[in-house]
């Protein structure tokens, strides 16, 4: 990688740096090797092999007046050609040569951008490779106006780090500083980010710091202490955040996060599955990471989001400095309510689902220290007391919840339109931060399947592993039932997952687009004070069978969400009695969104009705 580091930022010795005199410094941390050679391919067609200088603490370096931007190089270790683990670009893929990149080459057009407050976030998660037919950074730019008009204020890109093969979800990345060349060049990624900022849209990147992918990672060849011998993850040995030489490993990832924020001007980061980042030391890596990013990020608005199935609320307080966490709890209970599915992780939410949804809306997590049967009867979660409600990201769909189903079905194939509309209205009219998955806004019919492009032997293992997991699901317990499940290693699984933008023209898709757009306009025009000020301590809820009411109290106002989550009508829910002094802001009535000016708090509650009102 080629880093541009602020003068007050921590040292960044990884990869390549273009020096003031025009030379290029290349460094590699290879503590297990006494000698490392480097092979350089220059633009003039010449090739050079040199031995790097061995330094203290396992570092090897070379300062070259010959090498510069666009030249390529590999390290030679035990006669094996090895890419730079801090490579900025891999034009030939994860096993190919690394390319020196000039970080100053791109000329930013949106110079004054300083981001947006977190409370304004409406997130749209997308996968670059399947968002468009071309699957590139530049192709995505053409659809940004659609997202802006929809009411999206923040895009979240699934992981970009260079991976093995031609397509991948991104969670098998092996070169953490290199955006995968399948999507385009680093400068083309910057052009996408620039185009987002021009439209007032923030953009986040999903980073995976809990493991490396199974193909294309050479670190164990020359830096065995990059990995832990005492901690393990579902993908093998954990990364070493607390053992011998872990300080260098920690800096590698901290500098990686700073690189994406400062070099590419991302507005924030989503950190994948942090429960698999194992660290018994003090401070915990996640705390050091957030503190350092807050101190050294160039932007005044930097948003840090966690995925953490443990519901560790303490990471979301002001001291630890993470903005929010993806809230699986609210997804699981919404999904259970409208589909009736109770297998796998949904089993923890099958009892009293209305109460669980109301609690999630008022307090963030459903599990805050209760026993989880799905998680082997372990205590799951911590109290959310004192947290703002915008510390929780809500979603009805995301890449995992669609793609980890055997056939990658979207929610529109699993639940009634009335039930989906009710959950979407609840999600978008609550103070939690909402997240949509690409195509959701028009009811996309394309699946989102799991897909990879590994070598044959590894592909077989991946396919067998997926089938073994699906064998635990109802309806898939026999080989005969599983025989038609798409193979994740078949290129057709990737192709089938590409969005079909032509679907938007259908009457059904236009209806969904109008539905989402109206709710997002209402969120923007009426709910900003609620989103900014609502917190767990000033929220409450009540439940009457399949009817819920949630109250969020903020200065001078109380916002009230009431919903009938059943197939039966009710003239007026008992829990709504006495609220006639409230002003109705929105009423989803009998499956149709209604203009609030024509409604009042005496409206009856048909099946799946949702009402939002405010008392001042």
Contact 431, 527 (CB under 8 A): yes
- pLDDT of 237 > 90? The answer is no
Exposure pattern of 278-310 as b/e (b: 16+ CB <10 Å)? bbeeeebbbbbbbebbeebbebebbbbbbbbbb
Q: Under DSSP, is residue 413 helix (H, G, I), strand (E, B) or coil? A: helix
- Active-site residue identified among 71, 162, 242, 272: 272
Residue in the block written with tokens 């330094």? 55
What is the pLDDT averaged over residues 440-460?
A: 96
- Rounded Cα distance, 427 and 392, in Å: 11
Using CA atoms, how far apart are residues 442 and 509, in angstroms rounded to an integer? 4
Both tokens assigned to 92 = 């030939």
Residues 215, 267, 288, 307: which is the catalytic one? 307
Q: Which tens digits make up the pLDDT trace of 459-496?
A: 999 999 999 999 999 999 999 999 999 999 999 999 99
**Residue 440 CB contacts under 8 Å (≥ 6 apart), including other chains:** 396, 397, 410, 411, 516
For 446-485, letters b (16+ CB in 10 Å) and e give bbbbbbbbbeeebbeebbeebbeebeeeeebeeeeebeeb
**Active-site residue 84, yes or no?**
no
Q: Using one digit for the tens of pLDDT, what is the confidence trace for 299-343?
A: 889 999 999 999 999 999 876 789 999 999 999 999 999 999 999
Nearest residue to 203 via CA among 253, 164, 251, 148: 148
Summary mean pLDDT of the chain? 93
| Cα separation, 326 vs 330, whole angstroms | 9
Q: Residue 131 and residue 124: Cα distance in Å, rounded?
A: 11
278, 235 Cβ separation under 8 angstroms: no
Is it the case that residue 162 has pLDDT exceeding 60? yes
Binned at pLDDT 50, 70 and 90, residue 572 comes out as low
Predicted structure pTM score: 0.95
Name residues whose C-beta falls within 8 Å of residue 131's C-beta, 6 or more positions apart in sequence: 139, 140, 143, 438, 499
pLDDT at 589: 84
pLDDT digits (tens, 9 = 90+) for 12-32: 579 999 999 999 999 999 999
Q: What are phi and psi of 573, to 5 degrees?
A: -60, 135
pLDDT score of 123 more than 60: yes
**Maximum distance among all Cα pairs of the chain, rounded to whole angstroms:** 83
Ordered domains of the chain (ranges, CATH): 15-99 (2.60.40.10), 120-332+384-413+432-516 (3.20.20.80), 535-615 (2.60.40.1180)
Distances, alpha carbon 29 to alpha carbons 61, 63, 86, in Å: 9, 15, 10
Is residue 346 predicted with pLDDT exceeding 80?
A: yes
Q: How far is residue 71's CA from residue 18's CA, in Å, rounded to a whole number?
A: 12
What share of the chain in percent tops pLDDT 90?
89
The whole-number pLDDT of residue 603 equals: 54
How many Cα atoms within 13 Å fall on the side-chain side of residue 356? 23
pLDDT of residue 210 exceeding 60, the answer is: yes
Question: Residue 501: what pLDDT?
Answer: 98
Which residues, other chains included, contact 531 with Cβ-Cβ below 8 Å and sequence gap of 6+?
A: 119, 120, 389, 390, 431, 433, 523
C-alpha span between 614 and 579 (Å, rounded): 10
Q: pLDDT tens digits for 579-606?
A: 567 899 999 986 454 444 444 445 568 8
For residue 573, pLDDT beyond 90: no
The predicted pLDDT at position 7 comes to 36
Q: Which 3 state secondary structure label does DSSP give 111? A: coil
Q: Please, are residues 159 and 88 in contact by the beta-carbon 8 Å criterion?
A: no
Q: Does the structure show a pLDDT above 60 at 10?
A: no
The pLDDT value given to residue 580: 61
pLDDT at 544: 87
Q: What is the pLDDT at residue 4? A: 41
272 noted as active-site residue: yes
Q: What is the mean pLDDT of residues 38-56?
A: 96
Q: What is the pLDDT of residue 576?
A: 58
Partnered with residue 378 across adjacent β-strands are 372
Q: What is the pLDDT of residue 551?
A: 97
């Amino acid at each position: 990688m080629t880093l541009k580091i602020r003068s007050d930022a921590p040292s960044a010795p990884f990869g390549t740096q273009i020096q003031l005199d025009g030379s290029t410094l290349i460094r590699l941390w290879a503590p297990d090797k006494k000698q490392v050679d480097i092979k350089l391919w220059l633009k003039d067609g010449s090739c050079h092999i040199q031995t790097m200088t061995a330094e203290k603490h396992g570092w090897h370096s070379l300062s070259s007046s010959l090498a510069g931007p666009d030249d390529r190089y590999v390290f030679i270790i035990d006669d094996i050609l090895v890419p730079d683990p801090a490579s900025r670009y891999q034009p030939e893929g994860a096993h190919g040569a690394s390319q020196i990149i000039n970080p100053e080459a791109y000329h930013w057009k949106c110079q004054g951008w300083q981001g947006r407050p977190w409370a304004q976030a409406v997130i749209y998660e997308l996968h670059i490779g399947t968002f468009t037919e071309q699957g590139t950074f530049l192709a995505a730019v053409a659809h940004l106006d659609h997202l802006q008009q929809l009411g999206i204020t923040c895009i979240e890109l699934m992981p970009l780090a260079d991976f093995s093969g031609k397509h991948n979800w991104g969670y098998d990345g092996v070169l953490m500083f290199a955006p995968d060349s399948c999507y385009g060049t680093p400068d083309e990624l910057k052009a996408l980010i620039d185009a987002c900022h021009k439209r007032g849209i923030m953009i986040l990147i999903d980073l995976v710091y809990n493991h490396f992918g199974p193909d294309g990672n050479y670190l164990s060849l020359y830096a065995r202490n990059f990995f832990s011998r005492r901690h393990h993850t579902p993908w093998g040995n954990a990364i070493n955040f607390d053992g011998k030489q872990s300080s260098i490993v920690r800096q590698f990832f901290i500098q990686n996060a700073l690189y994406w924020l400062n070099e590419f001007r991302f507005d924030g980061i989503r950190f994948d599955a942090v429960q698999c980042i194992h660290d018994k030391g003090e401070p915990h890596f996640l705390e050091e990471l957030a503190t350092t990013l807050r101190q050294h990020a160039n932007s005044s608005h930097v948003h840090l989001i966690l995925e953490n199935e443990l519901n560790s609320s303490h990471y979301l307080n002001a001291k630890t400095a993470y903005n929010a966490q993806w809230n699986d709890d609210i997804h699981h209970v919404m999904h259970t309510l409208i589909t009736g599915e109770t297998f796998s992780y949904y089993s923890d939410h099958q009892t009293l689902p209305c109460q669980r949804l109301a609690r999630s809306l008022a307090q963030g997590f459903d599990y805050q220290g209760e026993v989880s049967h799905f998680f082997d009867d372990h205590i799951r979660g911590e109290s959310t007391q004192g947290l703002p409600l915008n510390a929780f990201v809500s979603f009805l769909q995301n890449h995992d919840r669609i793609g980890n189903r055997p056939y990658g079905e979207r929610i529109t194939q699993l639940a009634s339109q009335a039930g989906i509309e009710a959950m979407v209205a609840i999600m978008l009219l609550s103070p939690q931060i909402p997240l949509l998955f690409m195509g959701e806004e028009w009811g996309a019919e394309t699946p989102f399947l799991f897909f990879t492009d590994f070598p044959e032997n590894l592909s077989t293992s991946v396919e067998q592993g997926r089938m073994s997991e699906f064998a635990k699901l109802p309806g898939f317990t026999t080989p005969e039932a599983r025989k038609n499940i798409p193979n994740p290693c078949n290129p057709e699984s990737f192709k089938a997952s590409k969005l079909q933008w032509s679907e938007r023209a259908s009457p059904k898709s236009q209806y969904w687009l109008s539905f989402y757009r109206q709710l997002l306009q209402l969120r923007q025009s009426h709910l900003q004070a609620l989103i900014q000020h609502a917190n767990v301590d000033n929220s409450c809820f009540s439940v009457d069978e399949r009817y819920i009411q949630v109250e969020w109290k903020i200065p001078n106002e109380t916002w009230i969400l009431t919903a009938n989550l059943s197939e039966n009508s009710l003239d007026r829910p008992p829990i709504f009695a006495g609220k006639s002094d409230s002003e109705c802001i929105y009423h989803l009535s009998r499956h149709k969104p209604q203009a609030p000016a024509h409604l009042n708090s005496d409206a009856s509650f048909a099946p799946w009705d949702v009402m939002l009102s405010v008392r001042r």
